[in-house]
Amino acid sequence: MWSTRYRSPLVLALALGILSTSASAQVVEPGSTQAHLRQLQYFVGSWEFSGIDLNQEVSGTMTFQWDLNRNILIHKIHVIPVNEEKDPLTVMYVILWDAKNKRFLERGYGGYGGYGQAEWTKTEQGWRRKGIGSWVLWNGQEITVDAAFTINNQDQFVLQGTVDKQDEGPFKTDLKVTRLSGKPGGAKAPWRWLLGHWKQETSDGNTGTMYWYKPYRDADHLIGQWQQSDGTRLTEIAGWRPDTQTLVSHAYGSDGQYFDVTFNEVSRLRMKGPFHRRLADGTTQSGTFEIKQVDENTAQVREVATDGTVVTADFQRVDTATDARTVAKEWYKFQAGKWTISWSDGVVVDVTYTLGSNGEALRGTHTSRDGNSNTSLWGWDAFQRRIRHTGYGAQGNSWSITYTKVTPTEMQGEVRGSNRDGLSMLGHVTLKQIDANTFSYRVETINGKGEKVTSTATGIRQTKE
């Protein structure tokens, strides 16, 4: 064994030699190649593309990102063949200034182990990338590469190229490339977020509904509410991580249920990555999760567990903003008038609902026969595409209900607020139309003491507005 005390002087001497700044001993010359590479600033950001790559139809994403004090430009490409039988491919390139030969030098590394070099030169239309020698494939075969980047405008360019392989080819590439984000590192997610109400049917017989929304307009994450046919409810948050170029989703429910997915292959219409989940019975599962958007109203999921089990699912949009808003207005019309609401704890409330804002809102006065009174307002949140119902009482009680599931005969949502004693509450509300003159409430909450409280009520119409 070599002793550390014998190695340390050598390591120290090498370090001192490298770091020395004296005129006679300087090894590394302070400086920068930023001035040269600045010419490639146009490409920095996230892009999506579609077209033909190596004679096959593809789509995908690419990023250009600075590293090492802007002295290196890292270029990553993720190619997704339209032919589902072929696997996606990721390639990474490092572009730097070759000070010795006064040129832009690119070194590339393929997802299957290939490698090669190329030189970038500026042209009147944009840039040209020509291979230096041959690109070596994973199996030792060699190809030659020549490509042109034709810049159309600030947010779009065309990538065209030819790859020649011995006894084969040529293989043509013609891609239309459009900017997703001008910020380094791909600050905005390339994925087209699925928003609104959806229903799910899986190949193992399960069904469910989900509602996804952004908490504010420019958010690059969403919140989801899931309800499965077996009664399971989960709350999800999913968001984009620019530094790792991954989209991560987490969801949690009762009885220790949860799932998480780290999508490390992300494009506008497709994502794939490893997942892990725990079910209520303690069973855990891991594997690969993939989701593809077929169109604006349809998505498909394929889940492959580590034991080889495959489950597929179809997601179908069940509403649009226009549809849900129309349903909301019908609910307001149904409720307009005078009602008597009897709660399971014995409280009886007389309610008068009045339409306002050309039928876009519903104003309520609530008079409890124990002396409390409340004022409430129903309205349509056009941004998050959902109904909100808020109310305030004379004795300090308040509530806010956000209905995330809206159908012509039933609404479900989340409630938060406090009672007249100041105890907070958080829970789930279900409102159903029984017939033209009757509705029911079911409220399941956890109060400020951590206690589960379930209340039910029946509303009987007295007069119609």
Decide: 430 and 441 in contact? Cβ < 8 Å.
Answer: yes
The pTM of this model reads: 0.45
Distance, CA of 200 to CA of 206 (rounded, Å): 8
Mean pLDDT over 190-206 rounds to 86
Instruction: Give me the pLDDT at residue 246, please.
Output: 86
CATH topology of domain 196-317: Lipocalin (2.40.128)
CATH code of domain 321-464 = 2.40.128.20
Give the Cα separation of 57 and 273 in Å (integer).
Answer: 23
Sequence letter at residue 459: G
> In angstroms, rounded to a whole number, what is the distance separating the alpha carbons of residues 30 and 284?
54
Q: Is the pLDDT of residue 6 over 50?
A: no
Q: Are the C-beta atoms of 60 and 192 separated by less than 8 Å?
A: no
pLDDT of the residue at 185: 44
Tell whether the model's pLDDT for residue 305 goes beyond 70.
yes
The average pLDDT across 55-83 equals 85
Q: Mean pLDDT, to the nearest integer, of 102-131? A: 92
pLDDT recorded at residue 200: 92
Q: Is the pLDDT of residue 124 over 50?
A: yes
Q: Are 393 and 420 in contact (CB under 8 A)?
A: yes
- The pLDDT score that the predictor gives to residue 217 is 66
Look over the chain and give the mean of its residue pLDDT values, rounded to a whole number: 84
Alpha helix ranges (H) inside 20-134: 34-37
Architecture, CATH, for domain 34-181: Beta Barrel (2.40)
Q: Which residues contact 153 (CB under 8 A, 6 or more apart)?
A: none
Confidence of residue 187 (pLDDT cuts 50, 70, 90): low
Confidence of residue 448 (pLDDT cuts 50, 70, 90): low
* Of the candidate ranges 149-153, 305-309, 322-326, 422-426, the one whose mean pLDDT is the lowest: 322-326
Q: What angle do CA 170, 174, 179 make, to 5 degrees?
A: 150
Tokens of residue 330, six digits: 């019908």
Tell me, what's the pLDDT at 317? Answer: 87
Dist CA 327 CA 318 (whole Å): 12
In terms of Cα–Cα distance, which of 434, 460, 452, 435 is closest to 348?
460
- The single-letter code of the amino acid at 356 is G
Output the pLDDT for position 19. 40
Tell me what pLDDT residue 20 has.
38
Please indicate whether the domains covering 34-181 and 196-317 agree at the CATH topology level: yes
Q: What is the pLDDT of residue 296?
A: 82
Domain map of the chain by residue range? 1-30, 34-181, 196-317, 321-464
Taking only the tens place, the pLDDT of each residue in 45-66 is 888 899 998 888 888 888 898 8
| Cβ atoms of residues 128 and 121 within 8 Å | yes
| Arithmetic mean of pLDDT, 70-99 | 85
- Whether 262 has a pLDDT exceeding 70, the answer reads yes
- Per-residue pLDDT of 215-242, as tens digits, reads 776 778 888 888 888 778 889 999 988 7
**Chain length of the chain:** 465
